[in-house]
A and B are shown apart, each in its own frame.
Chain A
């Protein structure tokens, strides 16, 4: 047990009358004041240390590289990427699907695990929601950049215009626009509503520490939250309704993304397995990213008491389950290709194994199917280093899957005379790595300015824990 830090000199206010007795999801010895001060203290500190600053500078360098790549794209056009006919969808669309997939776990954790009353949700939902928000925002950039003339992206919005045209309502690409825009907005609402009580805590903590500027900033964002029982009742009810609404939304978003492919009659795209297969893949990569973020976070801020081994092991179990769903998707794809008797589908499947992108396919199967089987071992599920490494392996594997779905079907479809290859250019790589840097950059700012664990829910957990209910 670590001793809770006491940052305020006021001993009267610090005396916690009730302490957590300890359980799988919360270590013993924590009270309302100590969890508040611990989590709020991460934000309300003057010094953030060289580790944060060096990570921030490195990420900023990556963000500048991304800005440069995007600027060059706007100047020269999308010909700077390796895309051409026949592979007109390259990294950009693969990155889009990958990022939006990562953006699924946050809302899944927040909404579905809330509805299922899973106690291990409490300490991971906040940063997972932030992850969702950032990943979905970055995902949204890629189709826009891929438009050719990105500055006309607002043509996707149905509005009365002098051109007298409407979006093509029967196109999955327009459905996609609605799905992503809704998902981003609802995720933002969910995240912000959940933050309000914590923003009020930060307002009052900053005020108590005499930090006027922080007090005003958090005070404005907290909208004057007082924590009155009536406010709480409505807050909880609205939050529950949002969870109920976000649950079908999560499933719909990647379903619609998959329809971008499945509605087209390209071999390898035109498949009814795509919607569930994409949703399972999204949860798989999303939970992998949750682990990739949770493990450094708990280490950097000493949050092992809140984000316990139980949280990480549960995430590993979800990964194992979703790994099998994804594997089923791979199997179903292969089976259907041969069972259909369609020569193009069959060739596409054989080409995936033995064609020019074959090594990527084998590497993908290794990362997504073979390696995650290590999660069967209890030792692996409870070993932080293993979990971190495996989460990175799965992230890579899922990126390869998205890349392969986009590229292998396009590069050899019906007409052998129009076959071709896709080779990424340096701008493709800079844009991909730059988007990862942007994600890290946004996340670093998030942990600097907002509480990365829900303080109010942790206090509730302390009470339930002390009463022996959690």
Chain B
């Protein structure tokens, strides 16, 4: 069974600076909104904590990527040099681990870096070329000099009239309804 789509994505308020956005975000969070979205043209210090954002499992995934990359590369070298194509060079050990370290190290870094970037993309929902907010003309300033706070309709405590009044109390430069 499909639910009918919500009539709107949420309400969007525009603020002139980062401090105003932080204050506004704190205010709506205090009113029990849990899905608050805050948009800024740069990483505002402290803002993720205010809206209750977390970084997600990027760090453990990065570690995992590194371990997998390194282990796979060492295994490949060991398999090639010991099992598949052993070469006896003056009786030296086939599993000559010091010589296998450089490639292992490099692919450890590569695996970790790739995992960090992929994890960041997936957790951030990128690529996502369309988003309802892009329908709001003024939202293009979110990548320039304006700060936006969005109360999405999916928030359990969201009620259109109340939310609008709540945002209006914060004296935004602009208050828009975002179509869903």
Interface set of A (CB-CB < 8 Å, partner B): 13, 16-18, 31-33, 36-37, 158, 164-167, 169-170, 172, 174-175, 178-179, 181-182, 185-186, 189-190, 193, 196-197, 200-201, 203-205, 207-208, 219-220, 223-238, 241-242, 245-246, 248-249, 252, 256, 259, 456-457, 459-460, 463
Mark out the residues of chain B between 133 and 170 whose CB falls within 8 Å of any chain A CB in the assembled complex.
Answer: 133, 140-146
Mark out the residues of chain B between 25 and 40 whose CB falls within 8 Å of any chain A CB in the assembled complex.
Answer: 25, 37-40
A169 contacts which chain B residues (CB < 8 A)?
A: 77, 80-81, 99-100, 103
- Listed residue (B17, B133, B146) with the most chain A CB atoms within 10 angstroms of its CB: B17
Contact B47 A13 (CB under 8 A): no
Selected from A13, A18, A179, A248, the residue in CB contact (under 8 A) with B17 is A18
Contact B112 A224 (CB under 8 A): no
Least CB distance from A50 to B in Å reads 30
Contact B109 A224 (CB under 8 A): no
Q: Binary interface profile of B, 48-89, with partner A (CB < 8 Å = 1, else 0)?
A: 101101111011001000100000000011001100110000
Q: Which residue of B lies closest to A166 (CB)?
A: B80
Contact A238 B117 (CB under 8 A): yes
B37 contacts which chain A residues (CB < 8 A)?
A: 228-230
Contact B145 A13 (CB under 8 A): yes
9 closest Cβ pairs, A-B complex = A32-B145, A238-B120, A223-B127, A204-B140, A175-B102, A233-B48, A33-B145, A166-B80, A230-B53
For the complex, give the distance between the alpha carbons of A32 and B141 in Å. Answer: 10
Contact B42 A456 (CB under 8 A): yes
Contact A204 B58 (CB under 8 A): no
Selected from B40, B99, B113, B127, the residue in CB contact (under 8 A) with A242 is B113
Least CB distance from B75 to A in Å reads 11
> How many residues on chain B are close to A (CB under 8 Å)?
64
Least CB distance from A201 to B in Å reads 4
Contact A226 B103 (CB under 8 A): no
B114 contacts which chain A residues (CB < 8 A)?
A: 185, 189
Least CB distance from B3 to A in Å reads 24
Q: Binary interface profile of B, 109-139, with partner A (CB < 8 Å = 1, else 0)?
A: 1101110110111011011111101000000
Chain A: interface secondary structure?
helix
Contact B129 A219 (CB under 8 A): yes
- Listed residue (B59, B81, B99, B106) with the most chain A CB atoms within 10 angstroms of its CB: B106
Least CB distance from B172 to A in Å reads 13
Contact A233 B143 (CB under 8 A): no
- Listed residue (B18, B80, B109) with the most chain A CB atoms within 10 angstroms of its CB: B109
B18 contacts which chain A residues (CB < 8 A)?
A: 463
Known contacts A185-B114, A256-B106; 16 further A-B pairs (Cβ under 8 A): A13-B146, A31-B145, A32-B145, A182-B109, A197-B41, A224-B131, A234-B55, A238-B119, A238-B120, A241-B112, A245-B62, A248-B109, A252-B105, A456-B42, A460-B42, A460-B43
Contact A227 to B58, CB < 8 A, known contacts A178-B106, A179-B106:
no
Contact A245 to B112, CB < 8 A, known contacts A17-B16, A169-B77:
yes
For the complex, give the distance between the alpha carbons of A14 and B50 in Å. Answer: 28
Least CB distance from B139 to A in Å reads 8
Q: Does B44 contact A (CB under 8 A)?
A: yes
Contact B47 A227 (CB under 8 A): no
Selected from B102, B110, B126, B141, the residue in CB contact (under 8 A) with A186 is B110
- Listed residue (B39, B77, B100, B102) with the most chain A CB atoms within 10 angstroms of its CB: B102
Contact B102 A256 (CB under 8 A): yes
Contact A229 B106 (CB under 8 A): no
Q: Which residue of B lies closest to A466 (CB)?
A: B17
A219 contacts which chain B residues (CB < 8 A)?
A: 129
Contact B43 A235 (CB under 8 A): yes
B76 contacts which chain A residues (CB < 8 A)?
A: 158
Q: Which residue of B lies closest to A32 (CB)?
A: B145
Contact B128 A223 (CB under 8 A): yes
A166 contacts which chain B residues (CB < 8 A)?
A: 80-81, 84-85
